[in-house]
Amino acid sequence: MKTVSMSGSLRENVGKKDTKALRKEGKVPCVLYGGKEEQIKFCVSSRDFNPLLFTPDTNYVKIVIDGKEHNAILQDIQYHPVNDEVLHADFLRIFDDKPITIAVPVKTTGTAPGVLQGGKLNLKMRKIRLCGLPNNIPQEVVLDISKLSIGQNIKVAEISIPDVECMEVKSSVVVAVKATRNAVAATEETEEASAEAPAAE
């Protein structure tokens, strides 16, 4: 999985006044926790969040605080209710030998026959939670839809990733090809034509 780098500074004060002052400077108060180490309260420029937030991808984060690198994932984020500015962020440390649970995007490959027949492709789950060691988690889950006809789907239970467990309900539908009015009408016309053919002879 790709990694985004951020540079942070330790926070000397953690009161409300300090928080307001940081936000006026365009900085976001953050917390890094997890593992045996203590929590680290720090701040980063709000612009450093752009590669994390303005992308459909899920990425790991390498945070450099006072010259020390920390590998983490974005665990939680708070936004301003009016202008959507980032107010606060929590980061969770990750380690190569400890499993993590993280949501990764779902993408499709191929062309579904059902779509060519007039059906509509419906991606019901845009992200799927996976659990595994950080190095085993894929950047995305790619599903082959080239065999899906109208009314068919791919469920969570059909997804298999080596050394990684899918944490979603096994019976949940991830992607499906739904029938549309045009597709139903075309099917009915074909059936009617087939039924009338012997009579015409």
Average pLDDT over residues 29-58: 91
Confidence of residue 167 (pLDDT cuts 50, 70, 90): very high
Average pLDDT over residues 182-196: 53
Q: How far is CA 161 from CA 99, 124, 129, 142, in A?
A: 15, 20, 12, 10
Average pLDDT over residues 15-39: 87
By three-state DSSP, how is residue 38 classified? Answer: coil
d(CA 79, CA 88): 7
| Gyration radius of the chain over CA positions | 24
The overall average pLDDT reported for the chain is 89
Residue that has been written with the tokens 């953690």 in this structure: 14
